[in-house]
Amino acid sequence: MIYAYFGVAIAGLILAAIRFSIGPTVSDRLVALDTMTTITTAFLVLLGLFFERYIYIDVALIYGVLGFVGVLTMARYFEGGL
């Protein structure tokens, strides 16, 4: 069951990564990066379930916070008003 979770989540991640690499404008890439951050946060929690380690939950929390701050900063920067 958990391998099915991994497969479906990685398929979504790969589709977002394709858009990240071919996106015509910078906003397309940023939206794809935001999606990849959210999917990776959920994927780290799934990894914690797979390895039965509680520390992955902390890693997912910190990754979510830092990814949110990064995407917000880049959006403000490309708008021109950092």
Partner 1 sequence: MEQILEYIGMAVTSIGVIFLFLGGLGILRMPDVYNRMQAGTKATTLGAVGTIIGVGLMHPEWFFKTSIIALFILLSNPISSHALARGSYRIGIKLWQKKKIDAYGEALKNVKKEEEAD
Summarize as ranges the residues that interact with partner 1 (CB under 8 A): 1, 4-5, 8-9, 11-16, 18-19, 25, 27-28, 30-32, 34-35, 38-39, 41-42, 45-46, 48-49, 54, 57-58, 60-61, 64-65, 68, 71-72, 75-76, 78-80
> Could you tell me which of 71, 72, 46 has the C-alpha nearest to residue 59?
46
CB of 70 to partner 1, least distance (A): 9
> Could you tell me which of 50, 48, 39 has the C-alpha nearest to residue 10?
39
CB of 7 to partner 1, least distance (A): 9
Half-sphere exposure of 24 (CA within 13 A, CB side): 0
